[in-house]
Amino acid sequence: MAIINDDERDMLSNRELIGRDEINDYEAIFDLVGVDDGSSSHSVPDKCDAVFTWDYNKGARPKLDKLYEKAKRSQWNGATDLPWETVVDQEAMAVKAYREAGQRPLGEALIAGTQFEKWGEKEWVAFDMEYQNWTLSQFMHGEQGALLCTAKIVETVPWIDAKYYAATQVMDEARHVEVFSRYLDTKLSGHYQMNGHLGLLLDDIVADSRWDMTYLGMQIMVEGLALAAFGFMHSMSQEPLLRQLLRYVMADEARHVAFGVLSLQEIYTDMSAPEIRERQEFAFEAALRMRDRMQGQEVWERLGISKADAAQVTLMDPDRPVFQAALFSKIVPNCKKLGLLDAADGWLRTKFTEMGVIAFEDYEDTTLDLDANAEGTPMERAIV
Ligand SMILES: [Fe+2]
Ligand SMILES: [Fe+2]
């Protein structure tokens, strides 16, 4: 992320923000592939101040305090509250999905002239399994990003009510990493390294020393997208353990996004125009990175599919823009509520329009979400 302090400067260009001029430059999007270098960890310097507060007045921010009390009442145990005894036959599910599709999954017209033309059931089933391994791996990595970011928010945010709430979220995120990791280890057939675009974004968020940028990057953008993605997968999956796991995680995520909106609303009110512009730019960079991360680059590479073929099926799939846009159904209304869409002559509105996601601006923001306002564990609420 570029940090420029010139009050009079123009908004940064696409190239300055994301390293390319065209947001739909698919060659650039497919060129960035996450690398598994065999190391067991990855370090990011974060240069932030750990802030003590001497104002212990609990409830000074009533909305955050209310969320904290709800979070304490809504904890669940990832080891004992999910039906881990469920038998998951990943291959059988992939075969069933292939046969029910009644045609090649990507459609004849879409695969004409590509490596996929030669694929039969065996290859498509293998692809389906790889794609599921990849998807759940990215969820797991993203959850670890959230774990680190909320631990950092506990350190950096100056308000006691926010420190208290963020502490509950650290526990939530530990649980999320745990359940996705266990699902991958015991129910699926392999792991993937972090996606290249997701990795860049998480590094940027963690490296920024300003506490409100951690909130914007993680609580609003990454978690807003995760909430929508989990909801989509929950609606598509027929596997009962995964459905329950996702539903329980979603119940927590709605609170997390609401925490972000409620906290940033307060601090943005006092920010200068140049400061808000920088937040708009970061929101756009994050949105695009997350859109680009959805292309499954690491799967194509592992299966030996050329970037050109992968790009062709990605570009032309008639369902993909609808799916991709739906992922922004939480992010756009939350950015609007925070005033980020219309500041700087509507710069972010223009960017979201180019991305094809502006239609979500009048959707409900996440502070109104049922889960964010519910109280009690998922078991007590009997959510499925
Ligand atoms: Fe999470
Ligand atoms: Fe979260």
Domains and CATH numbers, the chain: 69-381 (1.20.1260.10)
> What is the Cα–Cα distance from 186 to 90, expressed in whole angstroms?
11
> What is the Cα–Cα distance from 384 to 234, expressed in whole angstroms?
10
Cβ proximity of 249 and 179 under 8 Å: yes
> What is the Cα–Cα distance from 363 to 368, expressed in whole angstroms?
10
pLDDT of 116: 87
pLDDT of 6: 54
Query: Residue 50 has what DSSP assignment?
Result: P
Residue in this structure with the two tokens 């212990």, named with its chain if needed = 56
Cβ proximity of 340 and 216 under 8 Å: no
Q: What's the gap in Å between 165 CA and the centre of ligand 2?
A: 12
pLDDT by residue, tens only, the chain of 384 residues: 555 555 567 899 999 998 899 998 888 899 899 999 899 999 999 989 999 999 999 999 999 999 999 999 999 999 999 999 999 999 999 999 888 876 666 677 778 888 888 888 999 899 999 999 999 999 999 999 999 999 999 999 999 999 999 999 999 999 999 999 999 999 999 999 999 999 999 999 999 999 999 999 999 999 999 999 999 999 989 999 999 999 999 999 999 999 999 999 999 999 999 999 999 999 999 999 999 998 899 999 999 999 888 888 877 777 777 777 889 999 999 999 999 999 999 999 999 999 999 999 999 898 888 888 888 999 989 888
Output the CA angle 342-348-352, nearest 5 degrees.
Answer: 120
Tokens of 5: 């302090």
pLDDT of 182: 98
Residue in this structure with the two tokens 């991958």, named with its chain if needed = 184
Q: What's the gap in Å between 113 CA and the centre of ligand 2?
A: 42
What ligand is nearest to the CA atom of residue 257? 2
pLDDT of 325: 80
Sequence-separated contacts (24+) of 378-383 with Cβ below 8 Å: 378/74, 378/76, 378/81, 378/247, 378/248, 378/251, 379/76, 379/81, 381/251, 383/247, 383/248, 383/251
Radius of gyration of the chain (CA): 21
pLDDT of 265: 94
pLDDT of 215: 94
Q: What's the gap in Å between 146 CA and the centre of ligand 1?
A: 6
Cβ proximity of 261 and 162 under 8 Å: no
> What is the Cα–Cα distance from 14 to 211, expressed in whole angstroms?
25
Q: Give the three-state DSSP class for 318.
A: coil
Q: What's the gap in Å between 93 CA and the centre of ligand 1?
A: 26
pLDDT of 366: 87
Tokens of 226: 């995760």
Please report how many Cα atoms fall inside a 13 Å half-sphere around the Cα of residue 23, on the Cβ side.
18
CA dihedral 319, 321, 323, 329 (to 10 degrees): -150
Q: What's the gap in Å between 249 CA and the centre of ligand 1?
A: 6
* Residue type at position 236: M
> What is the Cα–Cα distance from 163 to 210, expressed in whole angstroms?
15
Q: Could you give the maximum distance between any two Cα atoms of the chain, in Å?
A: 67
What ligand is nearest to the CA atom of residue 139? 1
pLDDT of 105: 63
For 217-239, where are the alpha helices, taking DSSP H only? 223-236
Q: Which residues surround ligand 2, an ion (CB under 5 A)?
A: 146, 223, 253, 256
Q: What's the gap in Å between 205 CA and the centre of ligand 1?
A: 16
What ligand is nearest to the CA atom of residue 255? 2
